[in-house]
A and B are shown apart, each in its own frame.
Chain A
């Protein structure tokens, strides 16, 4: 739901239902990073009601477009986070497996040398 004026597209308040700080803070953060935005903020009118108001004011671009772009950016960021995380976990598991193998081979070579004596 968007409350704005018909003449001025660059400033609007978006009211999202069933949302809370989880989404609102991240959207506000990505909006802030956008150089077209002069003001952005969010508020929760009442904590018992799951509704968030996000206010966006831009330097001329329609506020709806800027919000959509921010959400897109956030999505791409999340995707990147996920890829990096998966790769890091794989690397960790691989390096652990190598370490375990090294320890095993050290143990077995130690046993061999004892037996030969």
Chain B
């Protein structure tokens, strides 16, 4: 298998970002694209497996940044779409309000509760998580703010009793509640280790004046973001292609100083040679492609901006329910399953 001539290789593997617009943005996927030159463009699985690499740059509890090298934009975009829209997560869906004498309307309160992120591991679809909120502001005491740490998890299920229409029901029978749990959720081992709480305890849910009270029960279920944004497990996820800055000719002395001062993110460094100074590209990854370095006369001949088409810098910011690396593996699993 031969190599493509350099200008075609540039066209195939890099997006050229010119002053007005980027060119060569589409990826040459067709297997017979370079057949006339005798190059086989079809990708076989072994070639992909050999070339594909992942490098993690930053990994915190809440966000991570990593590089994927050797993959195509179509697959990278699918991962991004699945991360945002199709990963299941728990969020409060039904709210049974027993008492609400605050100035926040019922539906607004329920909406706010739905948006509170809940921290837990992978829950079962059959499990509903029940929370209770009971806050009262006594007369004569100052106003209180209801924060999300007031949401208490009820492992035994609902405590509100259903009204039975049957007036002759036996008073000794167990009162019916709104959920039927065959055993307390506390006994499930994963819940013993991590009790379910809202992720951030200081989210303001409501404010109460003296004499007002809120008593409600909230049921959290699993859902995906396609139905409603509260079920989104990531705050956001995005990717960009690796920028590449190429100096087409040697830039020396005054021009080098000018180039260094132009760039807002300090990409260029001045190298001191014996007889003069020369500009070098120090941090291409930080380039935001603002195109400042090619603005002005003649600069386009000296500096070329490209993006590498198969090197993606992914950033995932999680809302806290699951750590970001778990989110990514789940997203890949979902893509696998839909294909099976």
Contacts and interface: CB of A to CB of B under 8 A. Distances in A.
Interface stretch (B76-84, B106-114, B117-125, B161-169): B76-84
A93 B329 CA distance: 16
Interface stretch (A5-13, A21-29, A99-107, A108-116): A21-29
Interface in B325-340: 325, 328-329, 332-333, 335-336, 338-340
Contact of A35 (B42, B328, B329): B42
A82 B329 contact: yes
A77 B48 contact: yes
A85 B77 CA distance: 17
B338 A23 contact: yes
B66 A22 contact: no
Interface in A5-51: 21-23, 25-29, 32-35, 37
A85 B74 contact: no
A106 B116 CA distance: 43
A25 B78 contact: yes
Given A21-B81, A80-B52, A84-B54, A92 B338 contact: no
A75 B72 CA distance: 15
Contact of A78 (B55, B81, B332): B332
A92 B59 contact: yes
A54 B204 CA distance: 48
A85 B332 contact: yes
Interface residues on A, range: 35 or more
Contacts, number: 97
B56 A92 contact: yes
B53 interface: yes
Given A22-B81, A25-B77, A85 B328 contact: yes
Given A33-B42, A75-B340, A92-B59, A81 B52 contact: yes
B325 A89 contact: yes
B74 A26 contact: yes
A27 B77 CA distance: 13
Contact of A29 (B56, B72, B329): B72
Interface residues of B, number: 38
Nearest to B64: A89
B71 interface: yes
Given A73-B45, A89-B325, A81 B339 contact: no
B43 interface: yes
A86 interface: yes
A88 B52 contact: no
A71 B336 CA distance: 9
30 contacts: A23-B335, A23-B338, A23-B339, A25-B74, A25-B78, A29-B74, A32-B30, A33-B31, A33-B42, A35-B42, A71-B340, A74-B335, A75-B336, A75-B339, A77-B48, A78-B336, A78-B339, A80-B52, A81-B52, A81-B68, A81-B71, A82-B329, A85-B328, A85-B329, A88-B55, A88-B56, A91-B56, A92-B59, A93-B59, A96-B59
Interface of A: 21-23, 25-29, 32-35, 37, 71-82, 84-89, 91-93, 96
Interface of B: 29-32, 40, 42-43, 45, 48-49, 52-56, 59, 66, 68, 71-72, 74-75, 77-78, 81-82, 85-86, 325, 328-329, 332-333, 335-336, 338-340
Given A32-B29, A81-B75, A82-B332, 10 more contacts: A22-B81, A22-B82, A29-B74, A74-B339, A75-B336, A80-B48, A81-B332, A82-B333, A85-B328, A91-B56
